[in-house]
A and B are shown apart, each in its own frame.
Chain A
């Protein structure tokens, strides 16, 4: 009995759960630091509910890790359809939260189905690419059906309106088809077409007021005149951290009280302010290790479905991390994308928990089932 338990612990892959916990710990300390001095009722207690969400999420992750990956394959489309249906429900009767219909309220719970949509999409894509000519390189023709699978939820999410998550779905799709050997020729053509039409559309296709209108449509509550201001405050916060940062709990609230989302989208700015450049290097290295470990896993599994699925999970994590960091530091415009395991938010934490659970399960399957 004891022998089996030791065997189990030897074979069980704790690396993903470990990375998740590590990032979470950094995140919750940072969240505490960012919000502890908030006078706003409830805001200074967010870190507590973040801990609760973490325990829920890691429990989900551990449970999922015991599932056979074949189960994911079997229920891929079901999961896709289910999440799509939830998005549809949100559109139908969504409650206005943050000026956008992103929440679904079931009893005491508020869900953000667009979070789960990412996982649903990844599952469906993995399934599709495994079944339909898995060995062939992808060209335009092969992209039609997966394109539709992606575009339907993307458009629905953008209509909510949640442009950020919509774009994220597209980016995840792109990364997955890249892995599924999209032809270089197609990549080049798509890239050229994309950039060209985008630039053309923005500069000539739209009039100034239309651009503005689209902007306000996407996020009506955003202060259009001052949209640069959040970004500026964020940059001041980051820059003021300099090499070593101001230290834990020393974020000069000054600049960050102006950031309306300093517990969600802008946590990275606070982290930078308090821990400086070296702190960020440390944090980014944890993330990179996590991603590399996932990519390595994708190349060392025996089943192709598992491989594509792991790349999909990795894409979700990667795009969140990259877009959030890039927007907070002023490389990209501000869209509401949280930083995985660092930003406050139950739905997003749960999604990442599911991702970690899937990765662990796939990793374990190499050791347990063979």
Chain B
């Protein structure tokens, strides 16, 4: 055995070897430093003083968005910024005054911009003016030699061709904020940077991963005056320097029709509300408009504080989408569902007559019909046509809320439709169990009566109502509404295509149910006694239902108060949901006009405008035939006018 000290001693030669190895290792490092600092020193020094070599991001062009008829909706357009790099300024005052002259700016204003950015590194360019005109661009480029430190930066701006039209659907892109950065990195597992652009709303958000493409980079050499040129690796100084071209985003084709969008937008002029129209045999969304709106182009360049304040300060909330991100009481438009429920459950048939005396008493509470003197003996068709509350309340009184809810849910209400857009609301269809859970209270029979006419707890969005009425029109088929038809890559190859998705087919026990509900809906618009007769339009043969959604529950003395006399905030929302043409349904539409008072006067014309545009464009033959049919309806009405007919007022 060795003693401890011997042990150390026999390892001494290895210790000596280690000291050689270490010396050699640092010799290697030093020779490398010699190579860099002495042999290559001059060249590298030159690179460093002006930071001549830069890696710059080359933004990927974002995918374009087209309408169903191949009209361009969202485009990328190059914009130019005038930028100033303090490092390269020779004679600051002279350059600034020249620049101010070109851009008709105040020298002081430019100085202020510089002052604001004075704490950043001198080689960092500062944006002096965004979005300069071609004239300014040309002047800067031609006077380049006299403007050291001034250059022009190209920027691809996202432009929404129709500005405010369809903004909520298309959405917008904007820079990733400090707050969002970690969340988005976590969500997408991508290394986003501050200042990267990302879809933040609507289609831009939903399809971001298709639209965005992949940024590239290029290496740029900067000369002593701040002019840039592509770096060409001639002296082979650096390894691994390679430009990378950006990968364009994919193009998207929507189910949306641009002309209908415009028609809908115009029809909603001066109103606050939304309209949505879907193809009843596929669920394709043809139109989706919400007003007031905003210009999404503003977001892609960084909002000006004034524009942002304008949006946020607006009482009507232009950023809110009225079609899928908001729900409301569907009011009388819900009566079609109550009618279907009662019919299917066998509580009524087409001949059941209910006497409407203007009100209905349950327990101690009196439920009023909108018509004070009552509708008299009323059948289902008449009840729908004239929107009789008492009829549906009496029918509902024979069922319970769960039966009504069962049908409402079957027609797609009370749950998200699953349209592929962010932040859809679910609406609400109450059940006894729901109330117990939510409020810990038993269901009151009186509540059933309110729910039967679409008030109380019942909430729905226009997309849900349109889907439900599409199902009434197509025989009970619920399609998932969708807005994206195809996705193409930049070569025009189809990457992904979306097809109609049949969610369910409602099994109707009674073949007559839908027939008579449809008949009622037809008479609403096309019978002189119908609530929407005077807004029926021409050539569309629309069927549908008006409704009002109470914003505030009216006290007894105000039940019959004239809506227009109330203050704006308390006025009812006007609703219309319908489909067309009645005898060969193609399209369903739902409209809400906030504080519009009446479904007929406020909402129906919007649906009429959208559907008319649709019929003219897609079914011109049918449109002409319908004009004939309209004529006979009109003739019959004129004939019947002789015995005095009181025109139906709005409910």
- Spell out A's residues near B (CB within 8 Å): 39, 134-135, 175, 178-181, 220-221, 223, 225-229, 231-232, 235-243, 252-255, 257-258, 272-273, 276-277, 280-281, 284, 287-288, 291-292, 295, 298-304, 307, 311, 314, 318, 322, 325-326, 329-331
Contact = CB atoms under 8 A, between A and B. Distances in A.
A300 B53 CA distance: 52
B38 A242 contact: yes
Contacts of B239: 228
B14 A178 contact: yes
A135 B7 contact: yes
Contact of A238 (B11, B33, B240): B33
A284 B241 contact: no
Nearest to A329: B32
Most chain B beta-carbon neighbours within 10 Å: one of A276, A287, A299, A325: A299
For the residues of A in contact with B, the DSSP-based class is helix
B638 interface: no
8 contacts: A227-B240, A240-B47, A253-B121, A255-B48, A272-B37, A301-B8, A304-B4, A322-B22
Contacts of B49: 240, 252, 254
A242 B38 CA distance: 6
B12 A299 contact: yes
The 4 closest A-B pairs by CB, nearest first: A239-B44, A228-B240, A240-B48, A254-B51
Contacts of B50: 254
B631 interface: no
Contacts of A331: 28-29, 32
Contact of B1 (A135, A236, A281, A322): A135
For the residues of B in contact with A, the DSSP-based class is helix
B19 interface: yes
Contacts of A300: 8
Interface in B414-470: none
Contact of B41 (A223, A239, A307, A326): A239
A254 B121 CA distance: 8
A254 B45 CA distance: 12
A223 B17 CA distance: 40
Contacts of A241: 37, 41
Nearest to B55: A229
Contact of A307 (B8, B29, B55, B121): B8
Most chain A beta-carbon neighbours within 10 Å: one of B5, B37, B51, B244: B37
B238 interface: yes
B238 A228 contact: yes
Contacts of B12: 299
Interface string B109-142: 0000000000111010000000000000000000
Contacts of A39: 119-120
Given A39-B119, A232-B240, A322-B25, A280 B30 contact: yes
B241 A239 contact: no
Contacts of A326: 28-29, 32
B34 interface: yes
Nearest to A227: B240
A181 B10 CA distance: 9
A154 B478 CA distance: 58
Interface string B42-69: 1111011111010100000000000000
Contacts of B120: 39
Contact of A272 (B1, B33, B42, B53): B33
Nearest to B182: A96
Contact of A288 (B8, B23, B48, B121): B23
A320 B547 CA distance: 77
Contact of B33 (A223, A292, A329): A329
A313 B26 CA distance: 18
Contacts of A238: 33, 36-37, 44
Chain B interface residue number, banded: 35 or more
A235 B238 contact: yes
Given A240-B47, A291-B22, A326-B28, 19 more contacts: A179-B11, A179-B18, A228-B238, A236-B47, A241-B37, A252-B49, A277-B34, A280-B37, A295-B19, A298-B11, A299-B15, A303-B8, A307-B8, A318-B25, A322-B25, A326-B29, A326-B32, A329-B32, A329-B33
Given A221-B191, A226-B55, A277-B33, A295 B15 contact: yes
Nearest to A254: B51
A301 B47 CA distance: 51
Contact of B2 (A135, A237, A284, A287): A135
A87 B90 CA distance: 56
B217 interface: yes
Given A228-B238, A228-B239, A272-B37, A237 B48 contact: yes
B161 interface: no
B40 interface: yes
B44 A236 contact: yes
Contact of B32 (A232, A242, A318, A330): A330
B195 to A, nearest CB: 15
Given A134-B7, A228-B241, A298-B15, A235 B22 contact: no
Interface in B477-498: none
B22 A329 contact: no
A44 B409 CA distance: 61
A21 B260 CA distance: 77
Given A252-B48, A257-B121, A302 B4 contact: yes
Given A273-B48, A284-B26, A284-B30, A303 B10 contact: no
A237 B55 CA distance: 16
B25 to A, nearest CB: 5
Most chain A beta-carbon neighbours within 10 Å: one of B22, B42, B43, B244: B22
A280 B31 CA distance: 11
B5 A277 contact: no
Contacts of A180: 11, 14
Nearest to A135: B2
A261 to B, nearest CB: 16
B441 to A, nearest CB: 44
Contact of A239 (B18, B28, B36): B36
Most chain B beta-carbon neighbours within 10 Å: one of A228, A239, A329: A239
B19 to A, nearest CB: 5
Contacts of B33: 238, 272, 277, 280, 329
A355 to B, nearest CB: 16
A175 B51 CA distance: 41
Contacts of B38: 242-243, 277
Given A238-B36, A331-B29, A243 B41 contact: yes
Contacts of B41: 239-243
Contact of B22 (A240, A281, A318, A330): A318
A236 B5 contact: no
B218 to A, nearest CB: 11
Contacts of B32: 326, 329-331
B120 to A, nearest CB: 7
A223 B190 CA distance: 11
B453 to A, nearest CB: 54
